[in-house]
Amino acid sequence: MSNPQQLRFTKEHEWVTAVDADGIATVGITEFAANALGDVVYAQLPAVGDTVTAGETCGELESTKSVSDLYAPVTGEVVEANQDVVDDPALVNTAPFEGGWLFKVKITAEPDDLLSADEYTAFSAG
Amino acid sequence: MSNALRLTALDALHRSLGATMTDFAGWDMPLRYGSERDEHNAVRTKAGLFDLSHMGEITVHGPEAVKVLDYALVGNISTVGVGRARYTHICQEDGGILDDLIVYRLGETEYMVVANASNAQVVLDALTERAAGFDAEVRDDRDAYALIAVQGPESPGILAGLTDADLDGLKYYAGLPGTVAGVPALIARTGYTGEDGFELFVRPEHAVQLWEALTKAGEGVGLVPCGLSCRDTLRLEAGMPLYGHELTTALTPFDAGLGRVVKFEKEGDFVGRAALEAAAERAATKAPRKLVGLIAEGRRVPRAGFPVVAGGEVIGEVTSGAPSPTLGKPIAMAYVDAAFAAPGTSGVGVDIRGTHEPYEVVALPFYKRQK
Chain B residues within 8 A of A37 when measuring between CB atoms: none
The answer regarding whether domain B289-371 maps to CATH 3.40.605.10 reads no
Mean pLDDT, to the nearest integer, of B176-204?
97
- Tens digit of each residue's pLDDT (9 = 90 or more) over B162-185: 999 999 999 999 999 999 999 999
Mean pLDDT, to the nearest integer, of B129-144?
98
Please determine, for residue B2, whether its predicted confidence score (pLDDT) is greater than 60. no
Distance from the B35 Cα atom to the nearest Cα atom in chain A, whole angstroms: 6
Query: A39, B301: Cβ pair inside 8 Å?
Result: no
Query: B303, A42: Cβ pair inside 8 Å?
Result: no
Q: Mean pLDDT score of chain B, rounded to an integer?
A: 96
What is the residue extent of each domain of chain B? 6-51+145-237, 54-139+252-286, 289-371
Residue B339 is given by DSSP the state G
Percent residues over pLDDT 90 in chain B: 95
Q: Binning pLDDT at 50, 70 and 90, where does residue A1 land?
A: low
DSSP tally for chain A: helices H, then strands E: 4, 9
Please determine, for residue B60, whether its predicted confidence score (pLDDT) is greater than 50. yes
Residues 6+ apart with CB under 8 A from B271: B71, B72, B90, B91, B92, B93, B126, B130
The values of phi and psi at residue B19, to 5°, are -65, 145
Question: Looking at domain A8-110, which CATH architecture does it have?
Answer: Beta Barrel (2.40)
Residue B221 is given by DSSP the state G
Q: Is B229 on the interface with A (CB under 8 A)?
A: yes
Please determine, for residue B371, whether its predicted confidence score (pLDDT) is greater than 80. no
Coil vs helix vs strand at A123: helix
Q: Which of A63-67, B170-174, B214-218, B327-331 has the lowest mean pLDDT?
A: A63-67
Please determine, for residue B131, whether its predicted confidence score (pLDDT) is greater than 50. yes
- Tens digit of each residue's pLDDT (9 = 90 or more) over B78-87: 999 999 999 9
Supply the ipTM of this predicted assembly: 0.80
Count of CB contacts below 8 A, A vs B?
A: 41
- Tens digit of each residue's pLDDT (9 = 90 or more) over B276-327: 999 999 988 887 799 999 999 888 999 999 999 999 999 999 999 999 999 9
The pLDDT score that the predictor gives to residue B3 is 60
Strand order in the sheet with A57-63: A40-44, A57-63, A67-71
The pLDDT score that the predictor gives to residue B183 is 97
Please determine, for residue B155, whether its predicted confidence score (pLDDT) is greater than 60. yes
d(CA B48, CA B39): 7
Query: A62, B233: Cβ pair inside 8 Å?
Result: no
Q: Mean pLDDT score of chain A, rounded to an integer?
A: 95
Contact B54, B27 (CB under 8 A): yes
Please determine, for residue B17, whether its predicted confidence score (pLDDT) is greater than 70. yes
Q: Binning pLDDT at 50, 70 and 90, where does residue B7 land?
A: very high
Residues of A contacting chain B (CB within 8 angstroms): 35, 38-39, 41-42, 44, 62, 64-67, 90, 93
Percent residues over pLDDT 70 in chain B: 99
The pLDDT score that the predictor gives to residue B1 is 47
Task: Indicate the CATH number for domain B6-51+145-237.
Answer: 3.30.1360.120
Mean pLDDT, to the nearest integer, of B211-237?
98
* Fold of the B54-139+252-286 domain: Alpha-Beta Plaits (3.30.70)
* Residue B148 Ramachandran class (φ > 0 left, ψ -120 to 50 alpha, else beta): beta
Please determine, for residue A74, whether its predicted confidence score (pLDDT) is greater than 80. yes
Can you give the pTM of this predicted structure? 0.93
d(CA B47, CA B62): 38
Mean pLDDT, to the nearest integer, of B266-274?
95
The pLDDT score that the predictor gives to residue A125 is 86
**Nearest C-alpha in A relative to B301:** A62
